[in-house]
Amino acid sequence: MNAPPADHGDPRVAFESAKLGLWTFLATEVLLFGALFTAYAVFRLKYPALFHSEHLKLNRVLGTLNTLVLITSSLAVALGVDAIRKGKARLLEKYYGVTVLLGAVFLCVKYIEWTEEFHHGLYPGTNIFFSLYFMLTGLHGIHVILGMGILTYVVVLSRRGRFSAGYHTPVEVSGLYWHFIDLVWIYLLPLLYLIG
């Protein structure tokens, strides 16, 4: 994902390989979360009353705020990819920098939420709803951290002058990955916070 393959010569083949590779990888990520979504469906059917009463304990304001933060970060990524397609490496670095920053904001808000919940005695082992909540948001949070690391690495590469309008495969695929992280959250918000 991070560098062109050692041989094959043809950058077009390398780009197509990287893209197919990332889409395949995203399929595995969908399945990783898919198991948890399945568990959510199973237990929601089994305990509708519990899910209704427990979801009220989550902080909807912070959840919505975080959604706005992530969507904005996705916009920044898209603008960054657009910038490098036009060959503007400095602009790409700025936009990706903003994304990483927004990722950090997201994590801080999440931290506040979790602390609040711990104070109210809500832990991963409290009941099945909070097991799901902490596993899903936790796994998603790990992906945010990974995504921030990858984007930072892309910025470092860009500072070394590795990308141009002609070659920017790592920018494209890392951008795609960030969109995926955003997308998962878009599903988490209604499932956990909104529907009771």
Partner 1 sequence: MAEESGSGRGYLAERGWRSWAFTMDHKRIGVMYLYTTIAFFFIGGIFALLLRLELLSPQAKYFSDHTYNVFFTLHGAMMIFLFIIPAIPSGLGNFFIPLHIGAKDVAFPRINLASYWVFVAGFLVVIASLVSPMDTGWTFYTPYSAKTGAAVATLSFGIFLIGMSSILTGLNFIVTIHKLRAPGMTWYRLPLFIWGMYSTSIIQVVATPVVGVTFLLLAMERLLGVAFFDPAKGGDPVLFQHFFWFYSHPVVYVMILPAMGIISEVIPVFSRKPIFGYKAIAYSSLAIAFIGFLVWGHHMFTSGMSPLANAIFSFLTFFVAVPTAVKVFNWIATLYKGSITFESPMLYALTFIFLFAVGGLTGPFLGALATNVQLHDTYFVVAHFHYTMMGGTVMGFFAGLHYWFPKMTGKMLNEKIARIAWALVFIGFNVTFFTMFIVGVKGMPRRYAEYLPKFHVENVISTIGSAILAVGIAVMFLNFLQGLRKGPPAPGNPWRALSLEWQTPSPPDTENFHENPVVTDWPYGYGKPKGPTA
> Does 146 sit near partner 1 (CB under 8 A)?
no
Of 96 and 134, the one with the shorter C-beta distance to partner 1 is 134
d(CA 78, CA 131): 34
- The residue with tokens 């070394």 is 160
Which CA distances in Å does 28 have to 12, 21, 24, 58, 130? 25, 11, 7, 29, 25
Q: Which of 11, 41, 46, 159 binds partner 1 (CB under 8 A)?
A: 46
Tell me which residues in 8-27 interact with partner 1 (CB under 8 A). 8, 13, 16-17, 20-21, 24-25, 27
Tell me which residues in 58-117 interact with partner 1 (CB under 8 A). none
Q: Which stretch, 6-14, 77-85, 98-106, 176-184, contacts partner 1 (CB under 8 A)?
A: 6-14
Helices (H), 56-168: 60-85, 89-119, 128-159
Of 54 and 93, the one with the shorter C-beta distance to partner 1 is 54
CB 177 within 8 A of CB 147: yes
CB 158 within 8 A of CB 151: no
- The residue with tokens 């979801």 is 55
- Type and span of the H or E element at 137: helix 128-159
Q: Which of 45, 120, 121, 125 binds partner 1 (CB under 8 A)?
A: 125
Interacting residues with partner 1 (CB under 8 A)? 1-3, 5-8, 13, 16-17, 20-21, 24-25, 27-29, 31-36, 39, 42-43, 46-47, 50, 123-128, 131, 134-135, 139
